[in-house]
């Protein structure tokens, strides 16, 4: 994982020159100070099972994700800057924030929150899954392919919390014969949710996928995700602002893939570079988007 994190620090100086230079200081991506060495931690705590009450993690503890970890409705998981969560390798290893629950990832430019497996290999674990109460073409209380969880409603301003300065690496484990996890999966997430300054690395499927909802995201870095970097379906209606896609290994599919009913989301300032081919933009069925610099 250290190799990938170092590559981010080198590339983000270029990102600032390309499109982050016009952002405020709070919008900057990661820089050379992000690494800071490996902290010495006193203990290791396992994360798994269900969380039914508010919990704040401790950035001085090296956490292990040893099974599915579910934040239940009414509960809030807070993850402070500099926290590291290392996932076991496996099909049922993921973090899910259910409909009615919240997550608060408080990473900073110099101390992002890091979620990865020990080696950060593609498909090692299931990544981060959020389920919300916003609209989706699948209707109210639709069933997700992940865990049979329920998502979707009528509250397009629904607030599932905030994600700031997060690195997810090595996600994309197989769910079943037809489906895989993504790095970050957003099911019917509402516009009250904040998602910004997120790096999605070395996934075996998509970097980020939207299943309906109205959430907008900004400042995304997507490197070597084997399927699509950015994917949406079920009538997602939000905005991606400032996204940089880089692919340097075999197996790249698409920088942007869209499917299903078109609610005309917006893509603002997208850069996609691949030395291994692939497709830049793929719009299926009725889907489309407004794309601008």
pLDDT-derived band of residue 102, with 50, 70 and 90 as boundaries?
Answer: very high
Displacement of CA 147 from its chain's centroid (Å): 18
Weakest mean pLDDT among 5-9, 31-35, 194-198, 259-263: 31-35
Whole-model pTM: value is 0.88
pLDDT, mean of residues 32-54 = 67
75 pLDDT tier (thresholds 50, 70, 90): very high
- pLDDT of 25 reads 37
pLDDT band at 71 (very low <50, low <70, confident <90, very high): very high
Element (H, E) at 116: strand 113-117
Q: What is the mean pLDDT of residues 195-200?
A: 98
H or E segment at 130? Answer: strand 128-131
**Domain housing 137:** 2-292
Q: What are phi and psi of 20, to 5 degrees?
A: -90, -10
Q: How far apart are CA 290 and CA 133, in angstroms?
A: 25
Contacts of 154 (CB under 8 A, 6+ apart): 133, 135, 140
Residue 55 and residue 126: Cα distance in Å, rounded? 21
Question: Torsion angle of alpha carbons 232, 202, 178, 91, nearest 10°?
Answer: -120
Which structure tokens are listed for 55?
Answer: 């919990």
- Give the tens place of pLDDT for each residue, 114-166: 999 999 999 999 999 999 999 999 999 999 998 999 999 999 999 999 999 99
**pLDDT confidence of residue 38:** 45
Instruction: Domain count for the chain, please give it.
Output: 1
Number of helices (H), then strands (E), in the chain? 1, 22
Rounded CA separation 184/243 (Å): 14
* pLDDT tier at 32, thresholds 50, 70, 90: very low
What is the per-residue pLDDT for 176? 85
């Amino acid at each position: 994982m250290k190799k990938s994190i170092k590559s981010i620090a080198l590339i983000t100086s270029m990102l600032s020159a390309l499109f982050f230079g016009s952002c405020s200081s709070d919008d900057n991506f990661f820089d050379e100070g992000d690494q800071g060495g490996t902290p010495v931690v006193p203990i290791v705590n396992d994360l798994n099972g269900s969380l039914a009450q508010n919990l704040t993690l401790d950035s001085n503890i090296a956490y292990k994700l040893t099974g599915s970890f579910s934040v239940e409705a009414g509960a809030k998981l807070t993850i402070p800057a500099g926290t590291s969560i290392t996932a076991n390798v496996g099909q049922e290893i993921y973090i899910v924030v259910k409909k009615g629950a919240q997550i608060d990832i408080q990473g900073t430019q110099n101390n992002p929150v890091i979620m990865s497996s020990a080696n950060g290999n593609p498909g090692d674990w299931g990544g981060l899954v959020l389920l919300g109460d916003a609209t989706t073409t699948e209707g109210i209380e639709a069933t997700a392919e992940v865990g049979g969880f329920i998502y979707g409603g009528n509250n397009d301003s629904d607030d599932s919390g905030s994600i700031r300065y997060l690195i997810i690496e090595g996600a994309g484990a197989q769910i079943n014969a037809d489906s895989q996890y993504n790095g970050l999966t957003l099911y019917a997430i509402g516009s009250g949710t904040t998602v910004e300054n997120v790096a999605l690395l070395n996934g075996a499927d998509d970097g980020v996928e939207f299943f309906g909802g109205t959430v907008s995201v900004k400042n995304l870095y997507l490197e070597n995700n084997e399927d699509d970097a950015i994917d949406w379906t079920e009538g997602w209606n939000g905005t991606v602002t400032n996204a940089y896609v880089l692919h340097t290994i075999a197996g790249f599919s698409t920088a942007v893939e869209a499917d299903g009913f078109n609610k005309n989301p917006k893509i603002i300032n997208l850069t996609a570079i691949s030395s291994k081919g692939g497709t830049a933009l793929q719009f299926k069925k009725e889907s489309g988007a407004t794309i601008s610099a």
